Structure 1
Amino acid sequence: MLRRQILALPTLLATPAIAQERTINLYSARHYDSDKALWEAFTRQTNIRVRVVEANIDQLMERLRAEGANSPADVLVTVDIARLVRATELGIFEPIRNATLESRIPAHLRDPDGHWFGFTTRARVLMYDKARGLPAGLARYEDMAKPEFANMICARSSNHVYNVNLAASIIAADGVAATENWAKGVAANLARPPAGGDRDQIRAVLAGQGRIAVSNSYYLGLMAISERAEDRDLAARTGVLFPNQGDRGTHVNVSGAGLVKTAPNKEAARAFLEFLSTPEAQGQFAMGNMEFPAVTGAPVHPFLAGLGSFKQDPVDPRALASQVPEALRLMQRAGWR
């Protein structure tokens, strides 16, 4: 009996098996339920299963370093240009030339050598109470430092990536010295010590603690579609200014992804990156998480569309990322804690 089983074994191994399940392994620093629906949509279209590891970007990059050539990761997804550039500098991404992605994603929202591609943006805007109106003379980020806006500004900590990147974009436009003076002016104009996240700044302004909230657009969008009636009411009361429309444009925070250099499933990973630039995926990002799609003409949530179209700052991603360390230092020197 044993001999027959052994002889039969090669036959079993040689028998064509049911097609092995195709998968990609996604390391994601995004933590949104709407993203899960997006990964499921990709699977329905392609029969490629998405296995996800979620953690913050520092943990994911350390994991990739530790795993080395044996890493199962195919795609790394994160928020923020500086982090995408950092991953590039660490050699995590493999550059790809892809005509579909290059035609759909604007140049300032992707790496020029194809290491990563941006798929959504959040605008760093200035918000105010519609009932009180936009303070006169406010049109640019640089205006926030003017003495007439003393005790008006509500902003989170300077060391948060959103504010650091904003300062880096101002360095790219105005230089280090001018940006440090700007940061000193903003710190002097704060209505209260920095505390909480972006939504807390919006709530503070609507509670009369200041006049100007510095926030990413998607936080207001999420309040607008919240299950809490109070949040929806606050969102309806909030006005939005897209700064610097008369010159370089409004700074945007970018969420993007790239092909991991050691990816074991590269063909499937490339298909996944292309999928993220499709109208369906771009619409899911926009409708599910209140982000602006990277692809021109992709659907935008009606609430965000109601804020009006705006010009984005097309700062070179590498130039912005190179200024991040100095941006953090100068903001700390300026007393913006």
Structure 2
Amino acid sequence: MNLSKLLKPFIVTTALTIGLAGCGANNSSSEEEKPASKPEKAESQEVNVYTARHYEADEEVFKKFTEETGIKVNVVKGEAEELIERLKREGESTQADLFITVDGGVLANAKKNDVLQPVNSDIINKNVPENLRDADNNWIGLSTRARVIVYSKDRVSPDELSTYEALTDEKWKGKVLARSSTNLYNQSLLSSFIELNGKEQAEQWAQGIVNNFARQPDGGDRDQAKAIVAGTGDVAIMNTYYVGLLVNSEDPEERKVGESIGVFFPNQETNGTHVNISGIGLTKHSKNPENATKLIEYMTSVEAQEYLSANNYEFPVNADAKKTEILESWGDFKMQELDFDTLGEHNQEAIEIFNKTGWK
């Protein structure tokens, strides 16, 4: 759908106003001319975005949206919690129309802090399934990424892998790699275990992983993959899209790392692989809600979803969008079934467990 067509009513209204004014000039001078009524103030041709996603793919999607609609996208980047606090501080004076971030817990926190409002659009509801939208439509999913087990193709057979819980077995002692407990992805992973299995089992799992660490947590997800190839450990807990970035990197050394590791989706026979979400929400005091809704509609369209998948290696939320080749090569998988809001609800408990078990 070319959204620029939506601007035609404004153009037509303007033309009619000019035409009627011209007719009035030819009336008899004896008739009293009535002043034209002032038109209602229209939205500006822009939309202002506060985003915690700092990806080139997003910037390109914004450019494509502007090309199609003429609506300029102004972007302010920052950390998610900082942007939420900024929205609270600015209140009604904020210029932000949309808030974008990663992680279901953060999206739930934005809703809890009352900086978002419901989005009503049949197009969005068609593009994004109900389980990937907030129950009240305060936020809409843009993409998902699975937190999986990545392994050395040389030293590990996928037949040896099964569940997240199995990584606590003695056979993996000194072989497990993971990033810091301060990382939001790990906090949400543990939060999902609290929701699904209870706090006691979640703590046992965290302690078992700590006992099997190949080293103290260090670096980001890509650093865990590099540590596997370097022989520091054999398996790591990582997000899938980092593997896609490595395999398709312009750096030959990173490509080598990506080609040396395999992706395994755990817990397929139990409660599924943990999946986290990127999402977008309409701010409570948006000055351009119609333009903001159009941008959400575009970002969840097949065109935009396929672009994000092909360039950032995330799973599309629109079921009609084709996944890029590397995602297809990993196959389909069963994902956890839980309310993303629970990731935020259990976040503090997860942090306490990490501290208690020594997961630094």
Contact 1:124 1:214 in 2 (8 A): yes
Who is 1:179 aligned against? 202
Name the structure 1 match of 2:155.
132
Moved more, 232-241 or 130-139: 130-139
Aligned-partner Cα distance in 1 for 2:65–2:235 = 40
2:282 to 259, 262, 267: 259
Give the drift of 1:314: 2.1
Residue in structure 1 matched with residue 53 of structure 2 by the alignment: 30
In the TM superposition, 1:181-330 aligns within 5 A as: 181-330=204-353
| 8 Å CA contact 1:257, 1:273 repeated in 2 | yes
Maintained 8 Å contact 2:150/2:225: yes
* Greater mean alpha carbon deviation, residues 126-135 or residues 68-77: 126-135
Letter in 1 for 2:207: K
Counterpart contact for 2:178–2:217, Cα < 8 Å: yes
Counterpart Cα distance in 2 of 1:238 and 1:270: 40
User: TM-score, normalization: structure 2?
Assistant: 0.86
Deviation track 1:131-179 (CA, whole Å, cap 9, x = no partner) reads 2223654211111222221111000011210100000111111100011
Q: Deviations over 1:38-68 (max 9, x none)?
A: 0011111111110111111122112212211
What's the offset of the Cα at 1:21? 5.4
Residues 1:112 and 2:146 aligned together: no
Distance of 2:168 and 2:156 partners within structure 1: 19
Which shifted more, 113-122 or 301-310? 301-310
CA distance in structure 2 between the aligned counterparts of 1:145 and 1:20, rounded to whole angstroms:
56
Query: Gaps (5+ residues) in structure 2?
Result: 1-36
Deviates more, 1:319-328 or 1:212-221: 319-328
Unmatched segments (≥5 aa) in structure 1: 1-13
Match of 2:25 in 1: none
Residue 96 of structure 1: how far off its partner (Å): 2.3
The answer as to whether partners of 2:158 and 2:264 remain within 8 angstroms in 1 is no
What amino acid maps onto 2:157 in structure 1?
L
Letter of the 2:339 counterpart: D
**CA displacement, residues 75-103 of structure 1 (integer Å, 9 cap, x when unaligned):** 00001111100000000110123222223
Please give the root-mean-square deviation of Cα atoms over the aligned residues, in Å.
Answer: 1.9
Query: 2:141·2:280 contact (CA, 8 Å) conserved in 1?
Result: yes
2 CA distance for matches of 1:335 and 1:79? Answer: 26
What is the CA-CA distance between 1:15 and the residue it aligns to?
A: 12
- Cα distance in 2, alignment partners of residues 285 and 188 from structure 1: 38
Alignment-derived partner of residue 159 in structure 1: 182
Change (3 A) 1:241 1:21: same
Q: Determine what percentage of the aligned residue pairs are the same residue.
A: 39
- CA radius of gyration, larger in: 2
**TM-score scaled to structure 1, two decimals?**
0.92
Deviations 1:288-314 (A, max 9, x none): 211111111312121122122212212
Count of aligned residue pairs for this structure pair? 323
DSSP-derived class of the 2:217 partner:
coil
Of 322-331 and 92-101, deviating more is 92-101
SS of corresponding position for 1:115: coil
1:96 alignment partner AA: V
